[in-house]
Amino acid sequence: MLYSLARPFLFGMDPEAAHALALASLKLIERTGMASILADTGPARSVRLMGLEFPNALGLAAGLDKNGEYIDALAAMGFGFIEIGTVTPRPQPGNPKPRMFRLPEAQALINRLGFNNQGVERLLANVARARYRGVLGINIGKNFDTPIERAADDYEFCLAKVYAHASYVAVNVSSPNTKDLRRLQGADELGALAGKLKTEQMRLADAHGRYVPLVLKIAPDLDDAQLGAISRCLLKHKLDGVIATNTTVSRAAVAGLRHAEESGGLSGAPLGATSTEIIRKLARLLEGKLPIIGAGGVMSADDARAKLRAGASLVQIYTGFIYRGPELIGEILRAVSEAAP
Ligand SMILES: Cc1cc2nc3c(=O)[nH]c(=O)nc-3n(C[C@H](O)[C@H](O)[C@H](O)COP(=O)(O)O)c2cc1C
């Protein structure tokens, strides 16, 4: 309710400025103990997955809280899990502004932020300050100026840094906004990266006496052969799960709309069917051996249900949360709990 009042004002602003203002306001509201005036938390049906207990199946997707500055405020909105990042080893400013665009007729966004973040040390300091004790995913990436041939070094570095502080670690090889990053989804490149990260994960599990699941986040722009190769790689290297999907570079669903030709990743409603199809194919390829976390264009309870029916065990939202606000969380959780056996 409150969000629907604030939305016209926020949507009148530059998208990135609105984003910063909305998160700062959310934090202030939470700090003053007033989160319940915004939250629509809905009933909870817990999900056990990857050795973790998720209080409900709906999470916040990566990229909204890149530095882990708003964990408590976002948790108060009722998410069952929160994924922060993408974080890189060193701070970096990202691409020149403007770099985020709204396509309101399509309930979509295009962004080319380029992993703007304050670096892994700052993220960890923010995590240490948070009161949240729920499921926290930390999404890791590479700095823009690390050559792609050395990408594994950045991922290994971030994995070791965040390991003790994460419930799971998401390996982002699917942002379209870091040059050549998506090449890491190729069979050879992914095999090499997954092998190295698995070795590092096992070393860290031993050192910390705790196994932290490692999941791969993939793009929606993959053909069947690529999806098959990725699935084989996930199983071979015993990764713990997959997040499907990141944003798309396709503009087929928004052709002709204002901002449609901006470069970057498209998210929101026009991505929904594509990402659900990727989930369906992955579910067949993985035969239930690995869990799938579904993301992409979840703007309603029906969209969330479609992802679960296609084979996802959990769902994440980002653009839907921008367009619909906290009310979308309650709507989805009520629908998902009604669908429970
Ligand atoms: C502005 C913006 C920034 C994003 N940043 C990241 C990021 O840093 N890392 C990442 O893995 N995904 C990032 N994403 C992708 C989302 O996590 C999600 O996978 C994608 O947007 C599809 O979900 P949606 O349609 O609900 O937004 C970003 C998305 C948006 C819109």
Alpha-carbon distance 317 to 80, whole Å? 11
- Top mutation candidate among 79, 116, 175, 247 for ligand 1, by most atoms within 8 Å of CB: 247
Which residue has its alpha carbon closest to ligand 1 atom 21? Answer: 267
* Angle at which helices 120-129 and 151-162 cross, to 10°: 20
For residue 268, report the distance from its CA to the centre of ligand 1, in Å: 9
User: Model confidence over 197-248: pLDDT tens digits?
Assistant: 999 999 999 999 999 999 999 999 999 999 999 999 999 999 999 999 999 9
Which residue has its alpha carbon closest to ligand 1 atom 7? Answer: 63
User: Model confidence over 94-145: pLDDT tens digits?
Assistant: 999 999 999 999 999 999 999 999 999 999 999 999 999 999 999 999 999 9
Tell me, letter by letter, the H, E, C secondary structure of 209-242: CCCCCEEEEECCCCCHHHHHHHHHHHHHCCCCEE
Q: What is the pLDDT of residue 41?
A: 82
Which residue has its alpha carbon closest to ligand 1 atom 28? Answer: 63
Decide whether any atom of ligand 1 lies within 6 Å of the 231 Cβ. Answer: no
Which residue has its alpha carbon closest to ligand 1 atom 22? Answer: 296
CATH no., domain 2-338: 3.20.20.70
For residue 287, report the distance from its CA to the centre of ligand 1, in Å: 26
Tell me, letter by letter, the H, E, C secondary structure of the chain: CHHHHHHHHHHCCCHHHHHHHHHHHHHHHHHCCCHHHCCCCCCCCCEEECCEEECCCEEECCCCCCCCCCHHHHHCCCCCEEEEEEECCCCECCCCCCCEEEEHHHCEEEECCCCCECCHHHHHHHHHHCCCCCEEEEEECCCCCCCHHHHHHHHHHHHHHHHHHCCEEEEECCCCCCCCHHHHHCHHHHHHHHHHHHHHHHHHHHHHCCCCCEEEEECCCCCHHHHHHHHHHHHHCCCCEEEECCCECCCHHHCCCCCCCCCCEEEEHHHHHHHHHHHHHHHHHHCCCCCEEEECCCCCHHHHHHHHHHCCCEEEECHHHHHHCCHHHHHHHHHHHHCCC
Q: What is the pTM of this model?
A: 0.98
Q: What is the pLDDT of residue 341?
A: 46
Decide whether any atom of ligand 1 lies within 6 Å of the 86 Cβ. Answer: yes
User: Model confidence over 258-297: pLDDT tens digits?
Assistant: 999 999 999 999 999 999 999 999 999 999 999 999 999 9
Domain ranges of the chain: 2-338
Decide whether any atom of ligand 1 lies within 6 Å of the 139 Cβ. Answer: yes
